[in-house]
């Protein structure tokens, strides 16, 4: 006799991902690094806080460092925007049972007709509803 199949795991909850929030936090991080860079150049923080040897102010180096930081921020900001936008797009897909064509909407499995009567849906993907999963499990167990 075969051991029973493990129970189905529910899908992870949808996350509200907005690229604006991600970019805001990333921008705050880069702004902090730029402020610390300029503070170190103007006030010699390494000397004041850590007791290192006093350094002469080098504004050219600080400007170049700031430009590199801004270029890195723009590149990584673009990448964050693309990734978070893609994740948000994929989370808006509808899950459709590949066996009976029911649609999962608000943690309920509805027929196509009931779903479109409630709300006009977005993009469509596939899933399996609990009833079809159980039927399939029984069929697998009967064959095995």
Q: What is the pLDDT of residue 76?
A: 94
Q: Which residue has the higher pLDDT, 104 or 68?
A: 68
Q: Say yes or no to pLDDT of 75 above 90.
A: yes
Residue 125 host element (H or E) = strand 124-127
State the sign of the Cα–Cα–Cα–Cα dihedral 40, 42, 48, 54. Answer: positive
Give 11-43 pLDDT, tens digit per residue: 556 666 677 888 899 999 999 999 999 999 999
Q: Say yes or no to pLDDT of 60 above 80.
A: yes
- Round to whole Å and give the CA distance between 13 and 72: 33
Q: What is the pLDDT of residue 120?
A: 65
128 burial type by CB count under 10 A (0-12 exposed, 13-18 middle, 19+ buried):
buried
What does the domain layout of the chain look like in residue ranges?
A: 19-91, 94-143
- Give the highest mean pLDDT range of 32-36, 42-46, 97-101, 103-107: 32-36
- Round to whole Å and give the CA distance between 116 and 93: 14
DSSP string computed for 94-110? EEEETTT--EEETTEEE
Q: What is the pLDDT of residue 16?
A: 60
Q: What is the mean pLDDT of residues 54-71?
A: 93
- Round to whole Å and give the CA distance between 17 and 81: 11
Q: What is the mean pLDDT of residues 58-64?
A: 94
- Round to whole Å and give the CA distance between 29 and 25: 6
Task: Give the other-Cβ count within 10 Å of 120's Cβ.
Answer: 7
Q: How many percent of the chain have pLDDT more than 90? A: 28
pTM for the full model?
0.54
Question: Contact 74/68 with Cβ under 8 angstroms?
Answer: no
Closest by CA position to 15, among listed 100, 84, 115: 84
């Amino acid at each position: 006799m075969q051991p029973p199949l493990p129970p189905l795991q529910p899908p992870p909850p949808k996350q509200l991902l907005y690229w604006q929030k991600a970019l805001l936090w990333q921008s705050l991080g880069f702004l902090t690094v730029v402020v610390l860079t300029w503070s170190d150049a103007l006030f010699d923080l390494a000397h004041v806080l850590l007791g290192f040897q006093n350094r002469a102010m080098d504004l050219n180096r600080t400007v170049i460092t700031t430009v590199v930081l801004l270029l890195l921020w723009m590149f990584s900001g673009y990448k964050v925007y693309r990734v978070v936008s893609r994740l948000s797009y994929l989370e808006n897909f509808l899950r459709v049972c590949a066996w009976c064509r029911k649609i999962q909407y608000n943690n309920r499995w509805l027929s196509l007709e009931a779903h479109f009567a409630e709300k006009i849906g977005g993009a469509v993907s596939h899933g399996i509803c609990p009833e079809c999963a159980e039927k399939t499990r029984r069929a697998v167990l009967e064959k095995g």
